[in-house]
Amino acid sequence: MKTAYQAVLATFTRIYRYEHLGSLAAWDQAAMMPSKGNDARGAAMAELDVLIHHTLTSSELAANIAGAEQENLDEAEQASLREIKRQWKTANLLPAALVEAKTLLGSHCSHEWRTQRQGNDWAGFLANFREVVRLSREEAQLLAQTSGLSPYESLLNKYEPGMSCAELDRIFGDVKSWLPGLIRQAMERQGNKVLLAATGPFAIEKQRALGLEVMALLGFDFEAGRLDVSHHPFCGGVPEDVRITTRYTEVDFMQSMMGIVHETGHARYEQNLPRENVVLPVGRARSMGIHESQSLSFEMQLGRNPAFLELISPLVKKYLGDQAAFEPANLAAMYTRVRPDFIRVDADELTYPAHIILRYEIERALIDGEIEADDVPALWDEKMQAYLGVDTKGNFKNGCMQDIHWTDGAFGYFPSYTLGAMYAAQYFASIRKLHPDLDQQIAAGNLEPIFSWLNANIWSQASQWETDELVRRATGEVLNPAHFRAHLEARYLG
């Protein structure tokens, strides 16, 4: 009888239920809550986070984990205990007062950011941001004390377990060596091609209807989730009740539609995690890089594929009007147009990694104490100029204030986006080996080869395996960024 292990499972079942409520409170805060409710909501969420922290750091749980380690656990249970201990160890390095303070400050800073960004109010944002950086550095120092990691790496490992700055520097350094030339070549090739602009306005209710039909095509389970609107698109909730959001503008349908495709990738992962372990860490997404690999499998590998755009061209015409811009070839040209610009979430596939690399370099220097919060705008503009040739001087709204991630201290998250793009390219290289006619199947509306492969190799595996082993089992090798470069060269120079 594995009594200690069963007691540990009972505790984590309770924690999952707390986290369920917290995730819905966070979704409502971003999508539905009236602005005057933010202080009370932040306090309630901080109280819940402290409750979860107390549960994780209780002497009873520590004793049960120690007891479970002495029991005769099978391979699956050992993997489960491994993931439980990882979460437990992290919690025990942080005092409850810091957990509470970070949640309260993050809620306040994120809420204020919504209006400060619109007003290009860097000075107002900076007052809160300095405090977010201070608390994040405090957290990073505490996590780094026993891990042998740098302060920034200790935060990075919250999102990418096992990843090091040395490995990121190697990966991103390689990308920086060939990406500028590839961007230049792609823009030269596209320079003489005629691109028809879609004529708006595009009614928001029509864009929403289009998005819902595309979600259905992509297999979203509407009995286990919903679509809403927020300032910054995201996927939240829990596997049984996934909440995704997008944002609309009547002058541009492209942003909302591909944003929905992206978030649906996240949602399909969540909705297909193994239900028998859904309350346990081993039943959750393996890392944020793996999570982003799902959204980018949907958005980049599938969504911007000319075969998929051929498939949905009739749907775009159905909801937004029958115009020449919505012909498949022109849609493909629209969604693969390379143009360095300000905004990360609107960036084309080719310039996107540059947005991520500059954020990684800035946030690493910030957490490791090499720069201060006040230094961010100048460094941001310097790197935007160097990497993309874009001037952001004085344009805080479309520069260093554009993302929500830093407002609540999510330092270490940004690398997950480009790691996810690399994993996604590697997955599709494997899928294409099994299905050489994949593009023809996509154009014909048969997306099942993609979904079946992802379900068998990623979704159903959750956190049973550590990241390298998960990817090796799926593709035959650990992360190999060469697949990413090969994908980009084939799409933009082929």
Catalytic residues, by residue number, are: 263
- Name the DSSP class of 465: S
Which of 412, 409, 391, 380 shows the shortest CA–CA distance to 341?
391
Q: Cα dihedral sign for 223, 317, 344, 121?
A: negative
CB 244 within 8 Å of CB 267: yes
Token pair 């201290």: residue: 409
Taking a C-beta distance cutoff of 8 angstroms, is the pair 325, 334 a contact? Answer: yes
DSSP result, 273-329: S-GGGTTSGGGS-S-HHHHHHHHHIIIIIIITSHHHHHHHHHHHHHHH---GGGSHH
Answer yes or no: are the C-beta atoms of 245 and 263 closer than 8 Å: yes
Q: What is the three-class DSSP state of 408?
A: helix
DSSP SS3 for 233: coil
Asked whether 492 and 186 are in contact (CB, 8 A), the reply is yes
The first and second tokens of residue 307, run together, are 């075969």
Q: Is the peptide bond before 201 cis (omega within 30 degrees of 0)?
A: yes
Closest among 387, 43, 381, 33 to 230, alpha carbons compared:
33
Residue type at 49 in one-letter notation = D
Provide the H-helix boundaries in 70-199: 75-92, 96-118, 122-144, 151-159, 165-190
366-371: Cβ within 8 A, 24+ apart: 366/133, 366/411, 367/133, 367/136, 367/137, 367/140, 367/151, 367/152, 367/155, 367/411, 367/412, 368/150, 368/151, 368/152, 369/137, 369/151
Order of strands across the sheet that contains 235-238? 225-229, 241-246, 235-238
Nearest 5°: phi and psi at 399?
Answer: -115, -115
- H-helix or E-strand spanning residue 205: helix 204-217
| Token pair for 364 | 């690493």
Tokens of 132: 């977010």
